[in-house]
Structure 1
Amino acid sequence: MKQILGLDLGTSALKGLLFDEGGNLLASADSAYPLDTPQAGYSEQNPNHWQKAAEIVMTKLLDLRPDMKDALVGISFSGQMHSLVLLDDANQVIRPAILWNDVRTTKECQEIMATFGDQLLAITKNVALEGFTLPKIRWVQKNEPANWEKVAHVMLPKDYLAFWLTGQYSMDYSDAAGTLLLDVEEKVWSAAILKQFDIDEAVLPTLHESAGLVGKIVPELQLKFGFTQEVAIFAGGADNACAALGAGIIKEGLAMASIGTSGVFLSYEADETVDYQGKLHLFNHSVKDKLYGMGVTLAAGNSLSWFRDTFAPEEDFATLLADVGTVAAGSDGLLFTPYIVGERTPYSDAKIRGSFIGIDTHHRLRHFGRAVLEGITFSLKDSQQIMADTTGRHFKQIVSVGGGAKNPDWLQMQADIFDAEILTLTTEQGPGMGAAMLAAIGAGLFPDAESCAEVFVHYDKHIMPDPQQVAKYAKIYEIYQDVYPQTAPICHRLLTEE
């Protein structure tokens, strides 16, 4: 049976998932690499570490499954979005990659929006934020002009692996959309943006569909790994686009709530004319010719980790949350806003900070724990609300992945707060499975994403909303929405006084 490999290049590690064409996970392996923070607000990595990690992962998988040498037909990727990789004309890394979570580019974002904001939004469907690639390019142009002079190739992290494997410069549309250089509707590099910001199109890679063929593995690597046949390399996708594919978010009426360190509320966009006017991110999907909308909560799981580490460091999460089901919806009058590192959606406010509102003498750890879970979910509902207000849609089903899918009480909260049936995955493999699915589609094992998802994606739990709790949470959510405008001026003043 033919095999496909998905390589997921994350912020802290690279994970490889080997599947057969029946959607069965045969083996997995990972390899970590360091994150460098040379000064406050900076976040960088050495792309060579990604390559070494990929070599380690592929070697581990070959040790686990020697038949991979004969059966592997395709490799594809998911990768951290936005992070800037620069190569010179000898294909050497010029400087460490500036990562998606690097926030040094506030001035560049302000400059971009002040001089070209309306045009940028019309072309890319997004506004300039610190995470995106274009502000990072502007920072290098202004602060490291000697390095910018050396630039012959601009790419994103997963595309560096594709280059290593094939010798070809490539980028798929889902990742290109996150650079702020792509005309999202026309699916070409925007000549207007490149001209405005003095970027030569020659430094940008060839654009592909996510399941598009980049090339075949170079002979020296085929020999090194011992593959007995040519292995096709496919472009892959942005991590969120691949996670959506791996969760089956490929049809209208279905959304995904993903709770990791940050949180994402993501929906498949059947209407190609949808325009959120920058209130949400709108990107090309890893599914051919489709889009997805996305809102981000900066501190989702991070809020829960902070709460545990601060108030119950000796307890694991299961113990910490064991009693939250005994607390009524609304945590007996206690609200939490998860703005502990600022917020992205819907406020895009780096200076807002979190709050517990309504603390009373009868509140105990279980009340605070439930309030944290509710606050994270309310924050994700903000994105759901923007989608509903903009498109008139009501999601009947939402797939919960990540930390939010691990606690039954939290799953019920999601059903009640989102007012939708919550689904969980039978086996949750994250973006890496979406990458493997792209390899399977690209290799011709499936004609399209829909037929591939029928084989790879299976749902486990189905949690229905409780109408009484839905009504109660709707009233509490209205109060939650009042917290930001009331506390933002205070938080801004507090930070000014630091």
Structure 2
Amino acid sequence: TAPKILWVQENEPEVYRKIRHILLPKDYVRYRLTGEFAVDRADGSGTILFDLQRRDWSPEVLVALGIPLDWLPKTYEGPEVTSRITAEAARLTGLREGTPVCAGGGDQAAQAVGVGAVRPGIVALTLGTSGVVFATTDQAFIEKEGRLHAFCHAIPGRWHLMGVMLSAAGSLRWYHDTFAPDLSYDELIAPAGDVPAGAEGLLFLPYLTGERTPHPDPLARGAFAGLTIRHGMAHMTRAVLEGVAFGLRDSFELMRSAGLTQIEQVRVSGGGARSPIWRQILADVFNVELVTVNTTEGAAYGAALLAGVGVGVWPNVDAACAATVRSTGATHPRGEQVKRYEKIYPLYRQLYPALKELTHQLSGV
């Protein structure tokens, strides 16, 4: 948010001079429903205007950027009631006047609540078009080079680290649509289960739309490396699944280097999580138990749990998750496969630096 505000100041000064309040999109909806200016601390900490330790706006940053504090809304913890539906909003929407509105959270913070990743050691993995690795912490960890997002959690007194991969299941969708559009995803993936770990020396770099974590590089590009005449479609499919898994592991490694030493379990959701073959590859690459849960709409479900805590259905977020979120299956890492991937992962890590200069040149062709 902060760079956008500065962009408006520099490029649209007439608009900047009219600013009286700054709200995130969902908080503008809150304002229209309740007449109150408010933001949750999870979303607020993503503006670059926050003091993570204090869990509130940073006076130092605001002064440095010339942004008045009174432009910004009051901050609240995720389960707190910020306001109530007004009579006018009730008339326009059909909602009941006086209905409490809670602070809530950003999409990934609410997603983590929705799958029960609410304490240190439990990591949420969203395997959608993009891939998100979300780790709850009990203190404000910082990755010194800025390759991980560090935010307040939607849960009072907790924070989180987050890594984002731009083309996770999106890589598989591209591969399917380009090379095997007539096959179902199950038909495409099944033969990959018979290919040994490492796809007999074939690697896939999943940077099809640039990358964010661990390389914030819009000019990064994807690649198959190691293709030989012995490789068939099943090998290429497995290489895609493994390449995404390696790319997601990069976030885990950065989190460990930032001080997150305890990872007991990964709770996976998203379209890619439906594949048992892919789940097994992920468990083997991460060397950690991978669990699916009973909630399929994680972010919306998490927002509902936060609201339930806010109105007293449960005493706190931990209790809400314990009462509603259940494991539906577990995939455990296999010792021999883990050892195999420990040898292959360093080779994958060499791909980006080896290809960086070339792909940057190709982006201009």
Q: TM-score range by the shorter chain?
A: over 0.9
TM-score, with structure 1 as normaliser: 0.71
Whole-angstrom CA distance in 2 between matches of 1:244 and 1:399:
9
Whole-angstrom CA distance in 1 between matches of 2:187 and 2:15:
51
Q: Does 1:312 align with 2:312?
A: no
Q: Does 1:388 align with 2:223?
A: no
SS at match of 1:423: strand
Deviations 1:85-123 (A, max 9, x none): xxxxxxxxxxxxxxxxxxxxxxxxxxxxxxxxxxxxxxx
- How far does residue 223 in structure 1 lie from its aligned partner after superposition? 3.8
Q: Does 1:221 align with 2:89?
A: yes
Whole-angstrom CA distance in 2 between matches of 1:466 and 1:416:
6
The residue correspondences of 1:141-160 to structure 2 (distance < 5 A) are: 141-160=9-28
**Equivalent position amino acid for 1:402 in 2:** G
The range that moved more, 312-321 or 139-148, is: 312-321
Deviations 1:452-492 (A, max 9, x none): 00122111111111000000011110110111110111111
Aligned to 1:254: 122
TM-score, with structure 2 as normaliser: 0.96
The structure with more strand, counted as a fraction of residues:
1
Whole-angstrom CA distance in 2 between matches of 1:316 and 1:144:
49
Deviations 1:255-291 (A, max 9, x none): 1111111111111112x15222123111000110100
Q: Does 1:234 align with 2:113?
A: no
Whole-angstrom CA distance in 1 between matches of 2:314 and 2:120:
21
Of the candidates 249, 258, 274, which is equivalent to residue 141 of structure 2? Answer: 274
**Equivalent position amino acid for 1:154 in 2:** I
The residue correspondences of 1:139-178 to structure 2 (distance < 5 A) are: 139-178=7-46
- How far does residue 394 in structure 1 lie from its aligned partner after superposition? 4.3
Whole-angstrom CA distance in 1 between matches of 2:180 and 2:305:
40
The residue correspondences of 1:11-30 to structure 2 (distance < 5 A) are: none
Whole-angstrom CA distance in 1 between matches of 2:15 and 2:314:
44
Whole-angstrom CA distance in 1 between matches of 2:7 and 2:17:
13
- How far does residue 188 in structure 1 lie from its aligned partner after superposition? 2.1
Whole-angstrom CA distance in 1 between matches of 2:26 and 2:326:
27
Q: Does 1:336 align with 2:204?
A: yes
Whole-angstrom CA distance in 1 between matches of 2:329 and 2:131:
21
Structure 1 residue ranges (4+ consecutive) displaced by more than 4 angstroms after TM superposition = 224-229
The residue correspondences of 1:101-250 to structure 2 (distance < 5 A) are: 133-226=1-94, 230-250=98-118
Whole-angstrom CA distance in 2 between matches of 1:229 and 1:379:
48
**Equivalent position amino acid for 1:482 in 2:** Q
- How far does residue 229 in structure 1 lie from its aligned partner after superposition? 6.2
Deviations 1:190-235 (A, max 9, x none): 1222222221222111111111111110112324455566310111
Aligned to 2:216: 348
**Equivalent position amino acid for 1:446 in 2:** W
- How far does residue 410 in structure 1 lie from its aligned partner after superposition? 0.5
**Equivalent position amino acid for 1:382 in 2:** D
- How far does residue 427 in structure 1 lie from its aligned partner after superposition? 2.9
Whole-angstrom CA distance in 1 between matches of 2:265 and 2:198:
23
Deviations 1:238-264 (A, max 9, x none): 101000111111112111111111111
The verdict on how the C-alpha distance between 1:233 and 1:487 changes in structure 2, with shifts beyond 3 A counting, is same
**Equivalent position amino acid for 1:216 in 2:** R
**Equivalent position amino acid for 1:241 in 2:** A
> Quick check: 2:42–2:153 contact (8 Å CA) kept in 1?
yes
Superposition CA RMSD, Å: 1.5
The verdict on how the C-alpha distance between 1:227 and 1:481 changes in structure 2, with shifts beyond 3 A counting, is closer
Q: Does 1:422 align with 2:296?
A: no
**Equivalent position amino acid for 2:279 in 1:** L
Deviations 1:297-317 (A, max 9, x none): 111122111111211222332
Q: Does 1:296 align with 2:164?
A: yes
SS at match of 2:17: helix
Whole-angstrom CA distance in 1 between matches of 2:54 and 2:201:
50
Whole-angstrom CA distance in 2 between matches of 1:288 and 1:390:
22
Deviations 1:112-155 (A, max 9, x none): xxxxxxxxxxxxxxxxxxxxx11111111111111111222211
Whole-angstrom CA distance in 2 between matches of 1:157 and 1:324:
42
Of the candidates 309, 312, 331, which is equivalent to residue 444 of structure 1? Answer: 312
> Quick check: 2:115–2:295 contact (8 Å CA) kept in 1?
no
Query: 5+ residue gaps in structure 1?
Result: 1-132
The range that moved more, 222-231 or 186-195, is: 222-231
Q: Does 1:457 align with 2:359?
A: no
The range that moved more, 145-154 or 432-441, is: 145-154
Of the candidates 318, 322, 337, which is equivalent to residue 190 of structure 2? Answer: 322
The verdict on how the C-alpha distance between 1:390 and 1:191 changes in structure 2, with shifts beyond 3 A counting, is closer
Whole-angstrom CA distance in 1 between matches of 2:181 and 2:11:
42
